[in-house]
Amino acid sequence: MVKIVIIGAGGHSRVIISLIELLNEYQIIGLVDDVNHLDEKILGYQIIGGISELNEIRNSGITHAVIAVGNNDSRLELFNKVVNEGFEIPTLIHPTAIVESNVKIGRGCQICLGAKICSASIIGSNSIINTGAIIEHEVIVGDNVFVAPGCAVAGRVIIESDVFIGIGSVIIENTKIGNKAVIGAGSVVINDVKPESVVVGSPARAI
């Protein structure tokens, strides 16, 4: 089995640990986190160091890493650091997820429990499609996007990079979500969303 280290010991690390264990392809060596104490264990796995120790961990022979961080800015910073340190960042797809054969998924993505990604969709690198989210046909998802649990994205939607889509949101067909936009939890998006804007409600409006 390939040895892998998990970057981040927050809530999303529990999701990733469960996913990796089910895949039965990787041996989790431990977690790396700057906040949690080294004595702490997460679902039985030890925190083995901080972010500053990634080079030492890589030199010890651990070749693979996964970033278990939901915040887009933090995840992107860690992604770039981990790549620069020479780690491989695999894409992880939960065994219960349904991904059509003609879907394209970039490097370091996480497709979580019960997610569905439908025909001819494209998912960029370092993006998270969380539990039970639905990505319909011909959707384009950019890099470093977070789609929270229970979201439904209709066909031919374009989601640009660094977008955060809150839990339970709905995005109707043929809409475009601009770079770094934030969709509040439970929102219903019926119009295009401008880059770097925050929209909430049903129908979703900028705040």
Asked if residue 137 lies in contact with residue 153, where contact means CB atoms within 8 angstroms, the answer is no
Whether residues 109 and 61 fall in one domain: no
Q: What is the pLDDT of residue 51?
A: 93
Structural domain harbouring 46: 2-90
Taking residues 146-172, what's their average pLDDT? 98
- 3-class SS of residue 29: strand
Q: Which helix (H) or strand (E) holds 55?
A: helix 54-59
Q: What is the pTM of this model?
A: 0.95
Whether residues 96 and 79 fall in one domain: no
Whether residues 99 and 173 fall in one domain: yes
What would the two tokens of residue 180 be?
Answer: 């770094």
CATH number at residue 57: 3.40.50.20
Cis (ω within 30 of 0) for the bond into 95?
A: no
* pLDDT 10s digits, 93-140: 999 999 999 999 999 999 999 999 999 999 999 999 999 999 999 999
Number of domains in the chain: 2
Taking residues 177-204, what's their average pLDDT? 98
CATH number at residue 137: 2.160.10.10
Whether residues 65 and 9 fall in one domain: yes
